[in-house]
């Protein structure tokens, strides 16, 4: 294995282990979306932003298309959080995200799949401030002690092939 590949895998492992209580972790098959795999294999630290300042809300942003975490067109977001009064379940967190998005601009939320511990949905936005992602696909998974969000965001929309691949990747998400 090359040093870049090992660094990419180490960063992905850190992202996957990012949990509020480190008791549960979200895993998924990053190989299902080739552009994500390429970014992780590249070892470019400037394409990944990890934030664990608040251990109850840990985030990872991985840039798929763009120059850096400050300048991107397509990105993946991973969030691990401790449930709160506003968001105890996957459906609660989706409702919270909808309220936050609606405060920004006009949105349409569509549920793609749902079961007793997870919800997968899509957000399409119009008339937003520059830089706000116009499209996003999210999967929220509820664990025993935490909530986990895995999402794909695009500022210029997803191609049909990219959307299909992102849905497959999100569908591979599970708690370990």
Residue 123's pLDDT band (cuts 50, 70, 90): very high
Check residues 23 and 144 and name the one with the higher pLDDT.
Answer: 144
- Using only the alpha carbons of the chain, give its radius of gyration: 15
**For the whole model, what pTM was predicted?**
0.86
Per the CB < 8 A criterion, the answer to whether 104 and 128 are in contact is yes
Residue 5's pLDDT band (cuts 50, 70, 90): very low
What's the mean pLDDT in 140-165? Answer: 96
**For 130-146, what is each residue's pLDDT tens digit?**
989 999 999 999 999 99
The per-residue pLDDT for 21 is 47
Residue 162's pLDDT band (cuts 50, 70, 90): very high
The per-residue pLDDT for 17 is 44
Residue 86's pLDDT band (cuts 50, 70, 90): confident
CB atoms within 10 A of CB 2: 9
**For 93-105, what is each residue's pLDDT tens digit?**
999 999 999 999 9
């Amino acid at each position: 294995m090359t040093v870049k590949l090992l660094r990419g895998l180490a960063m992905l492992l850190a992202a996957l282990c990012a949990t509020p209580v480190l008791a549960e972790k979200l895993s998924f098959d990053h190989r299902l979306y080739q552009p994500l795999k390429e970014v992780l294999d590249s070892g470019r630290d400037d394409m990944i932003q990890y934030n664990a300042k608040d251990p109850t809300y840990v985030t990872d942003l991985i840039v798929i298309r763009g120059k850096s975490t400050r300048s991107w067109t397509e990105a993946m977001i991973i969030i691990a959080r401790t449930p709160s009064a506003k968001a105890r379940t996957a459906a609660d967190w989706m409702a919270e995200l909808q309220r936050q998005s609606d405060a920004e601009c006009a949105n349409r939320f569509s549920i793609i799949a749902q079961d007793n511990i997870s919800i997968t949905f899509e957000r399409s936005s119009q008339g937003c401030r520059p830089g706000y992602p116009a499209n996003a696909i999210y999967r929220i998974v509820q664990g025993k002690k935490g909530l986990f969000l895995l999402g794909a965001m695009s500022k210029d929309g997803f191609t049909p092939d990219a959307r299909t691949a992102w849905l497959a990747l999100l569908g591979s998400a599970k708690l370990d």
